[in-house]
Chain A
C-alpha cells in the first residue's frame, strides 16, 4: 500500500516538475524577465510546499514520538532512568507558558533520584499535566455545549451529523494544541483515525448508554422540547469523544483517578438548559 502511494506521489511530483520546467522554458522563450519571474514563482511554490510538508511531517513525527513515550510510560516495568529520559522528552514538547513553566519548575524541584517510575508520573501529573488537562477539559466543555446547542436547533439528521463532525474536528485540533501538538492536517487526520478506532471499541457500550439516555430523555421530554433528548445524547457523545482525544494527545497516560468524568463535563450543559427554561419574572 505504501509502495503504491509512493508511486502515485512520484507520478504527481514528476508530472508537476515536467509541467513546471516546460512552463519556465516557455516563459524564457517569450522573454528573459518573464522566465526569471516564472522560475522565481516555481521556486517559491516548491519552497512553500516543502515548508508545509516539512511542518506536517514534523508535527506528525512529534505526535508519534509522544505516543511512543505514552506507551513507554504506560508500562509500569519501565526503569526509573528510562522514565526520567522519557519525561524529559515530554517536558520538551509541552507548551511553554507561565503556568506550565511554573509546573515544570515545581516538578524539577520535587522529583528526586530515588523516585520510581510510578512516582515520577504521579508528580508530573500533579504539577505539569494538571494545567494542561484543565485547558483540554475547557475545550471539551466548549465542544459539548456546541454539540448540545447545534443538535437542539438543527433541522435534519444530516445537518446534525455535519455539525457534529465539524465540532468534533475543531475539538480534536484544540485539544491537540492544548497538549503542545501542532494541529496540522497530518496530525488532525492521524488523531481522527485513532479516535475512530478507539471510539469504535466503545461501540457496544455506546449502544447501551444511548438507549439509557434516550429513555431518560423520554421522561424529560414531558418538560423539555423533544430535541433536547437528542441534544443531550450528542453532548454526552461529544464528552466521551473528548475524553478519548485527551488520552490520545496526553503525553503520559491517565492514572485511575485522573480520567475526567463525563457527568462533570456534561453537567454544565444541563444546568444552562434548565436555567434557560425557568421563566424569569
Chain B
C-alpha cells in the first residue's frame, strides 16, 4: 500500500541539518575550523607552521605555551597531525616548512591551497566533560582544521558581488589616483586605445591582461600595495594559463552593464563571469562555509613603513576581505538555519618581534585603529573580538643603541643570507595613523631576519610572542 504522506523531502533536510550541526562530531571528537586570514606576506604560513610545531611539542615541553590553558594546566595529553586520509586538497607542507626553517630560512611564498588537521587530546576541565570522559573511557579531543591559501585570493571574494562593468569602473578609478597612476601608466595607455564596444580580439585581450598583470606585480612587490584584484593574476596556484583568465578592466561608461555580442567588452565580461564561477565562487563555497573561529593577520609594521598609499591600501583591502565572512554568535537553531558562523575573531599585528617590547602595545593599538570598521561589523553580529600583537617565530633579540645622543631600544637579528647581525630601529610606532602631513618617505626595506635555530623534531617548540594567548582566546573554550 503506498504511503499516504510523502516524506521524501525529509532526508535531504536531515542531511543538511546534520552537516550544519556537525552531528558527526558527537560520535567521535569535536572539530573546529580556524580561518587563518591575511593578505600576502602577512605571515599565515609561518603562523600555521609555528602553531602546529608548538602544539605537537607541548606534550614534551609545556613551557613554550604556558598561557594556553590546556597546556598550562597540564591537561594536554598529546597533539598529532591528522592522517591525510582521502582529503581533496593537498596537505599543508608542515614538515618541509619546519625543515626549511631549521636551515635557517623561511618557507616559500604560498602558491596554492592546502589543508591540515591537528588532533588535540586532553583531559577535560569541566564536570560534564570529566563525566563523559569517564563513561567513554577516552580523553576529550578536538581537531583543529586549517586551510592555507595565498593571501591574494582573498581579494577576489568581493568580486562575487560585482559585475564586470562595476569592477572595471571601480578598478580604473583607483588606478588613476596616487602612486597607482604612475605604476599603471603603460596599462592605462594601452586600454585608452581600445574601446569596450570594438570588435573582440583575442590578442588585444591577452595584451591588456599581460600589461595589467605587470602593473599588479609592480604594485605588490615594489610599492607594497595590497588591494590588488583579481588575486589569482598574482598567484595562479595550479591554474596555469587558462583562457578565461585573460581579461582586464576596460573603460566603461556609467550606466552600461551589458555589451553587444562579439565585442571586446563582451569577451572580457564573459571571462570575468567564468572566472568568478570557476574559481572564486567554488573557493568560497568549499572553504568558507565551515569557519567558526578566525585570526586575521596583518603586517601593520610593513604597511606603516611603506608609506601612506600602502597603509591606506592595506586598510581598504582589510575592509573588503572581511566583508566576505559570516560573523555571528548563535545557538543550535541559528546554526541549523543559517550554518556555522564565526563567533570569535582575533586581529593580530604580526612580526611583533621586529619592534621592541615597549612598542608592541602601540602596534596592537594601531591595528585596532586600522580595523575599526570591520571590528564594528564583527561586534554588531555578536561575535567576540580582540586585538593583539604577535610573532609566530621570534627572530630577533632586544638591544639598545645610541642614536643622535639618545639611548634607544632596537632589535637585532641576522638578515637572511647575511653572515653578520644587524640592528633595526623602527622608530616610534604611533597608536593611530599619522596625519596627512606627518608621513615619512616610504621605507620598503624592512629586513627579513632569519629564523632562530629550530629543532625540526617536535620537542622544544619555537619561541614566539603571544601565540599561546591567541590560541587561548580562539580555542580555549573548546579545550575545556
Residues on the A chain within 8 Å of B479, using CB: none
Interface of A is mostly: helix
Chain B positions 449 through 466: 1 when the CB is less than 8 Å from some CB of chain A, otherwise 0: 000000000000001011
Task: Decide yes or no whether B67 CB sits under 8 A from chain A.
Answer: yes
Whether the Cβ atoms of A126 and B66 lie closer than 8 Å is yes
The interface residues of chain A lying within 8 Å CB-to-CB of B469 are 119
Q: Contact at B465–A110, with CB atoms within 8 Å?
A: no
Check B66 against A114 for contact (C-beta < 8 Å).
Answer: no
Please report the C-alpha to C-alpha distance between residue A119 and residue B469 in the assembled complex, in whole angstroms: 9
Chain A residues with CB under 8 A of B67: 119, 122-123
Instruction: Provide the residues of chain A in CB contact with B66, threshold 8 Å.
Output: 110-111, 122-123, 126
A111: B residues at CB distance < 8 A: 66
CA distance A110 to B67 in the complex (A): 9
Task: For B465, give the chain A residue with the smallest CB separation.
Answer: A114
Let me know if A114 and B63 touch, CB within 8 A.
Answer: no
Please state if A113 and B357 are interface contacts (CB–CB under 8 Å): yes
Range of interface residues on chain A? 10 to 19
User: B386 at interface (Cβ–Cβ under 8 A)?
Assistant: no
- Total number of B residues with any Cβ neighbor in A under 8 Å: 13
How many pairs, one residue from A and one from B, have CB atoms within 8 Å of each other in the complex? 27
| Chain A residues in 8 Å Cβ range of B360 | 114
Beta-carbon contacts of B342-360 to A below 8 Å, as 1s and 0s?
0000000000100001001
Report the nearest B residue to A111, measured CB to CB. Answer: B66
Contact partner of A126 among B72, B463, B466, CB < 8 A?
A: B72
Determine the distance from Cα of A163 to Cα of B96 in the docked complex, in whole angstroms: 70
Q: How far is the CA of A110 from the CA of B61 in the complex (A)?
A: 10
Q: A84-120 interface mask toward B, CB cutoff 8 Å, 1 = contact, 0 = none? A: 0000000000000000000000100111111000010
B13 → A minimal CB distance (Å): 41
Which of A109, A113, A119 contacts B398 (CB under 8 A)? A113
Find chain B residues with CB under 8 A from A113 CB: 357, 398
Contacts of B466 in A (CB 8 A): 114
For residue B82, CB closer than 8 A to chain A, the reply is no
B472 to chain A, nearest CB (A): 10
Instruction: Please report which residues of chain B, range 57-77, place their CB below 8 angstroms from some CB of chain A when the two chains form the complex.
Output: 63, 66-67, 72-73
Minimum C-beta distance from A228 to chain B (A): 28
- Mask of B297-316 contacts with A, CB within 8 angstroms, 1/0: 00000000000000000000
In angstroms, Cα B442 to Cα A182, docked, is 62
| B contact residues around A106 at 8 Å (CB) | 63
CB contacts (< 8 Å) of A122 on chain B: these are 66-67, 72
Bound together, the chains give a CA A159 to CA B116 distance in angstroms of 69
For B66, B67, B73, B360, the residue with the greatest tally of chain A CB atoms inside 10 Å of its CB is B66
Return A118 CB to nearest CB of chain B, in Å: 10
Q: Which residues from chain B contact A123 at a C-beta distance below 8 Å?
A: 66-67, 72
If A114-B357, A126-B73 touch, whether A109 touches B465 (CB-CB below 8 Å) is no
| C-alpha gap A112/B360 in the complex (Å) | 14
Residues of B within 8 A of A112 (CB): 463, 465
The interface residues of chain B lying within 8 Å CB-to-CB of A119 are 67, 469
User: A106 to B72, alpha carbons, bound, how many Å?
Assistant: 10
The residue on B at minimum CB distance from A123 is B66
Closest-by-CB residue of B relative to A108 is B63
Which residue of chain B has the shortest Cβ distance to A105 in the bound complex?
Answer: B63
Interface residues of B in 127-174 (CB under 8 A from A): none
List, in ascending order, chain A residues with CB within 8 A of B72's CB: 110, 122-123, 126
A108 to chain B, nearest CB (A): 9
Distance in angstroms between the alpha carbons of A90 and B337 in the assembled complex: 54
Q: Which of A120-170 contact B (CB under 8 A)?
A: 122-123, 126
> Which of A114, A119, A122, A126 lies at the interface centre, i.e. has the most chain B CB atoms within 10 A of its CB?
A114
Q: In the complex, what residue of chain A is closest to B361 when comparing beta carbons?
A: A116
Residues of A within 8 A of B357 (CB): 80, 113-114
Q: Would you give the shortest CB distance from B193 to chain A, in whole angstroms? A: 56
For A125, the closest partner residue in chain B by CB is B72
CA–CA, A80 and B358, complex, Å:
10
Q: Are B63 and A109 in contact (CB under 8 A)?
A: yes
Give the shortest distance, in Å, between B479 (CB) and chain A (any CB): 15
Let me know if A110 and B398 touch, CB within 8 A. Answer: no
B398 surroundings in chain A (CB, below 8 A): 113
Q: How far is the CA of A80 from the CA of B398 in the complex (A)?
A: 16
* Complex: chain B residue closest to A79, CB-CB: B358
- Nearest CB of A to B399, in Å: 12
Nearest CB on A from B364, distance (A): 11
Chain A nearest CB, measured from B477 CB (Å): 13
Chain B, residue nearest A122 (CB): B67
With most chain A CB atoms within 10 A of its CB, the pick from B63, B67, B73, B469 is: B63
Query: Within the complex, what minimum Cβ distance (angstroms) separates A30 from chain B?
Result: 72
Interface residues of B in 427-480 (CB under 8 A from A): 463, 465-466, 469
Nearest CB on B from A242, distance (A): 24
Q: How far apart are A41's CB and chain B's nearest CB, in angstroms?
A: 58
Contacts of A80 in B (CB 8 A): 357
Chain A nearest CB from B413 CB (Å) reads 15
Q: Which residue of A lies closest to B352 (CB)?
A: A114
Report the minimum CB–CB distance from B354 to chain A (whole Å): 13
Cβ contact within 8 Å between B73 and A110 = no
In angstroms, Cα B465 to Cα A106, docked, is 18
Query: Could you show 23 A-B contacts with beta carbons less than 8 Å apart?
Result: A80-B357, A109-B63, A110-B63, A110-B66, A110-B72, A111-B66, A112-B463, A112-B465, A113-B357, A113-B398, A114-B352, A114-B357, A114-B360, A114-B465, A119-B469, A122-B66, A122-B67, A122-B72, A123-B66, A123-B67, A123-B72, A126-B66, A126-B73
Interchain residue pairs A-B with the least CB separation, the first 3: A110-B66, A109-B63, A110-B63
Known contacts A119-B67, A123-B66; 9 further A-B pairs (Cβ under 8 A):
A106-B63, A109-B63, A110-B72, A114-B352, A122-B66, A122-B72, A123-B67, A123-B72, A126-B66
- Residues on B lying within 8 angstroms of A by beta carbon are 63, 66-67, 72-73, 352, 357, 360, 398, 463, 465-466, 469
